[in-house]
Amino acid sequence: MAPEQLIAEREGPVTLLRMNNPDKLNALSPVLTRELIEALEEAGADRTVRAVVLTGEGRGFCAGADLGTLEQPYRRGERPSLSAFLSEGYNRLIPLVTGAPQPVVAAVNGVAAGAGVSLALACDLRVASEDASFTAAFSRIGLVPDSGACYLLPRILGRARALEFALLSERVDAHAALAMGLVNRVVPADRLLQEAMALARRLAELPTVALALTRRLFDETAILSLQETLEREARAQDEAAATRDHLEGVLAFLEKRAPSFTGE
Ligand code: T3D
């Protein structure tokens, strides 16, 4: 069945995923969540995909959970389990981003709220349009940050800034987001996709396995001692060293030429 709320395109080694539920600022409806999961599973299984770019259609990047899905049960006085909803949806989606075998770049075109911020934070790098903005949003509706935000926000912003962002749910514009370290770079709106794709193409030329292992080490070692970190690094180094790209990198250096990485 053709995707309804996600447009997936392939440009050479880069897969471009456009969330396409613009009337709701790309809120994560059950359909969009499922389609994102399927598209990321597909990209993850394809070794020729060397980078992924995630963006939104219209004026939103992603407004988080589709609150419309809660309207009917809440008006009927029912309180469906949100943890069950999370387990089936976002808790499957986020690890597909943070654990993708290739780098994932968020091209944040507009507002990101709630789980939409979590989704952007789960990506390896964030390029924001000057029109982008960010709000935790959870506290405004009496919820706690979810979809990995409690892990990602303090690590990316530091505890004090993360708490301010999460507790107050103020709307932070693109330049303030850059100053906070929430995004890696800000570009004019009309250049966003061009810049994000150029960054993705650059990443796609790098040794993909080593990049994914680097990200995994950063995530795993955050809660480990230095000694445990040294051991994890050594084990991962054996995995990286077994790749063709490692061999190519060393030989290229010794032969004083540019390396040609293939992701193998
Ligand atoms: O199951 C669970 O819910 C648990 C999981 C929770 C994870 C979460 O993500 S909780 C947080 C959910 N998200 C929010 O609370 C954000 C809600 N939206 C907003 O606060 C604002 O819309 C924004 C700050 C994102 C943008 O504001 P603004 O003024 O630029 O746009 P707007 O006019 O509010 O929104 C435009 C339309 O999008 C509007 O529809 P309409 O009136 O034109 O028909 C609005 O209702 C719709 N929309 C925006 N966000 C959502 C949404 N529709 C459904 N769900 C949304 N999250």
Residue with CA closest to ligand 1 atom 3: 65
Residues with CB under 6 A from ligand 1: 24-25, 27, 63-68, 70, 82, 85, 111, 113-115, 135, 137-138, 141, 143, 146
- What is the pLDDT, as a whole number, of residue 45? 98
**What is the average pLDDT across 237-255?**
89
Q: What is the pTM of this model?
A: 0.94
Contacts of 224 (CB under 8 A, 6+ apart): 232
> Hey, what's the torsion of the CAs at 4, 65, 38, 206, to 10 degrees?
110
Q: Could you tell which of 67, 93, 117, 143 is best to mutate to test the pocket of ligand 1, judged by most ligand atoms within 8 Å of the CB?
A: 67
Contact indicator for 8, 17 with CB cutoff of 8 Å: yes
Contact indicator for 137, 172 with CB cutoff of 8 Å: no
Task: Report pLDDT digits (tens) over 63-91.
Answer: 999 999 999 999 999 888 889 889 999 99
Q: Tell me, in angstroms, the distance from the centre of ligand 1 to residue 99's CA.
A: 27
- What is the pLDDT, as a whole number, of residue 234? 81
Q: Tell me, in angstroms, the distance from the centre of ligand 1 to residue 21's CA.
A: 12
**CA distances (Å), origin 211, targets 42, 99, 159, 219:** 19, 11, 26, 13
- Other C-beta atoms within 10 Å of 227: how many? 8
- What is the pLDDT, as a whole number, of residue 264? 93
- What is the pLDDT, as a whole number, of residue 235? 86
List of E strands, the chain: 6-11, 14-19, 51-56, 60-62, 104-108, 111-113, 125-129, 133-135, 172-173, 185-187
Q: Tell me, in angstroms, the distance from the centre of ligand 1 to residue 245's CA.
A: 44
- What is the pLDDT, as a whole number, of residue 28? 97
Task: Report pLDDT digits (tens) over 160-177.
Answer: 999 999 999 999 999 999
Out of 98-102, 138-142, 146-150, 227-231, which region has the weakest mean confidence (pLDDT)? 227-231
